[in-house]
Amino acid sequence: MQSDDHSSMWIGGHWEQGAEGTRPVINPATGEVFAHAPEASAAQALQAIDAARAAQPAWARLSPLQRGVYMHKIAGLIRDHAEPLARLVVREQGKPITEARGEVGGAAEFFTYFAEFARRIQGEILPSDAPGEQIWIQRVPVGVVVGIIPWNYPAALVSRKVAPALIAGNTIVLKPHEETPLSALYMARLFEQAGLPAGVVNIVTGAGGTVGAALTTHQQVDLVTMTGSVPTGKRIMAAAAPNLVPVSLELGGKAPLIVMEDADLDLAVASAVTSRFMNCGQVCICNERMLVHEKVYDAFVARFVQATKALRLGDPMLETTDLGPKVSRVELEKVEAILAAALNSGTEPLLLGGRPDTPPVAGGYWMTPTVLGGVTADMAIMQDEIFGPVIPVMKVSGFDEAMAVANDSRYGLSAYLFTQDYRRIMQAVADIRFGEIYVNRIGPEALQGYHTGYRNSGPGGDDGIHGLESYLRKKTVYVNWSGSSPVPLMPYI
């Protein structure tokens, strides 16, 4: 299969050109256009919903085990094509190849994991108030799902939305981010090769403002599940509201990473570095602000800065690279503006990064890491998501202050705690107001966990049995098998 054949979208089992032409796709390592992806029109988005609607009843009539067979085939095909897909992820998104291989492994695992639910989607049987009757509560598909994803994991996030939708008996229209459409189009070829019936999965590429808006304002959609930024999440929730379409949102984060005085510092430093700089800091659960006990602050900072300096900025196709480029010029400039504002507000650079004088590859969106001290909890750098290789570190006097600062955030996705004191661990687990807490470790999230955020990190969640629940709804069935007329036992309200 040619990984450079991205000229068309997969709608209703057909490959279609974009009615709005094409959009250039840029390699963030070089700043050069290396492909063109179809640009869908709003009408094509609606056509994809019609295709998904038409395909859904037959897909839902298959047994979950039959649906699971397709999903195991897809997982196998992703594994068979792992290397070209990983290289495509690198070319369109810029993460190091070693990370991209991990992402593609995850993309396959989502299909295997959710296929395993084939025999586990079950209902309940309840006794009725009348003799000769039963009440069943069934779990049934929601119907047609719209999935909208960002650019930071262009392969894994396709699977995170598509796999649970399929096992539940739904069909789906998926829109990747306009800057990273190629991995999704490549995966569409694998879905086709797996023999997925026409219309069960539809991939439309194009602008959020037109294609995304057409999908999320549609009346005949049964669930919108979106991963992305807070402003877009708010827009989507408002767009779906007039139609009362349920919305699940996985939005930004501002994860605190707390290091107490009794922490294993080797573990804490290595974890903090990886969690900040993987994928060039572009992960929703990234370490976004560090809160370090005053007794170990100096030692931690010295070692963190040293380890950060040792990161190898380089061509993301090389196995030796730790840090690739930012995904786009816009994102690079956004993080530069955040850094400039932080420096203006009086923070102290403990390590000052920026655009390198001699970038590893000319023309790319390169940024070396920055570590900022002298911060206070109310500063923008401690409150707003950075999503890049810049990290503030704050000295705290103890556990209580660390918890208070950690919880003082409009985000509530993930939090990290490094300590060996089990009383503090239990206290933090009880008091932390975040959807995920990692104790003496960092991510990634587990497939069987529940990836969910509080506050502006968005209502909703993905993964595991609880993530699967969003793709199912319940149907209550009252069955009278007695052969006589049912007599209401209680007056109805």
- Provide the annotated active-site residues: 250
Residue 32: in which H helix or E strand, if any? strand 32-38
Give the binding range for ligand NAD (CB under 6 A) out of 64-72, 174-182, 358-366, 397-405.
174-182
Which window, 249-257, 337-345, 362-370, 425-433, contacts ligand NAD (CB under 6 A)?
249-257
Question: What does the alpha-carbon distance between residue 91 and residue 179 come to, in Å, rounded to a whole number?
Answer: 11
Q: Does 152 bind ligand NAD (CB under 6 A)?
A: yes
CB of 272 to ligand NAD, least distance (A): 18
- Closer residue to ligand NAD in complex, CB, 146/263: 146
Cβ proximity to ligand NAD, 103 vs 385, nearer residue: 385
The number of residues that bind ligand NAD (CB under 6 A) is 29
DSSP secondary-structure letter at 212? I
Does position 227 interact with ligand NAD (CB under 6 A)? The reply is yes
Q: Is 389 one of the binding residues for ligand NAD (CB under 6 A)?
A: no
Q: Which two tokens stand for residue 450?
A: 């529940």
Binding mask 420-459 for ligand NAD (x = CB under 6 A): -------------------------------x-x------
x/- mask, ligand NAD, residues 259-288, rule CB under 6 A, reads -------------------------x----
Instruction: Identify the residue among 96, 150, 181, 364 touching ligand NAD (CB under 6 A).
Output: 150
Please name the residues in contact with 79: beta carbons below 8 A apart, sequence gap of 6 or more: 105, 108
The Cα 267–Cα 264 span in angstroms is: 5
**How deeply is 317 buried, as exposed, middle or buried, from its count of CB atoms within 10 A (0-12, 13-18, 19+)?**
middle
Q: How many CB atoms lie within 10 A of CB 88?
A: 25
- The pair of structure tokens assigned to 227 is 């991963």
Nearest-Å Rg of the Cα atoms of the chain is 24
336-375 mask for ligand NAD (x: CB under 6 A)? Answer: ----------------------------------------
- Tell whether residue 148 is a contact of ligand NAD (CB under 6 A): yes
The yes or no reply on residue 335 touching ligand NAD (CB under 6 A) is no
- Of 204, 251, 255, 381, the residue at the interface with ligand NAD (CB under 6 A) is 251
**Which member of 55, 413, 415, 437 binds ligand NAD (CB under 6 A)?**
413
Write 483-489 long-range contacts (CB < 8 A, 24+): 483/132, 484/132, 486/130, 486/133, 487/130, 489/129, 489/130
Cα–Cα distances in Å, from 23 out to 18, 19, 28, 44, 482?
A: 9, 11, 15, 16, 64
Token pair belonging to 470? 């969003």
Q: Which amino acid is at 195?
A: G
Q: Least Å distance between CB 252 and ligand NAD?
A: 3
Is residue 250 close enough to count as binding ligand NAD by CB under 6 A? yes
CB of 136 to ligand NAD, least distance (A): 34
Residue with tokens 């909208």: 148
* Distance from the Cα of residue 30 to its chain's centroid: 26
Residues 392/372, Cβ–Cβ less than 8 Å: yes
- Residues near ligand NAD (CB under 6 A) are 148-152, 175, 177-178, 208-209, 212-213, 216, 227-229, 232, 235-236, 250-253, 284, 385, 387, 413, 451, 453
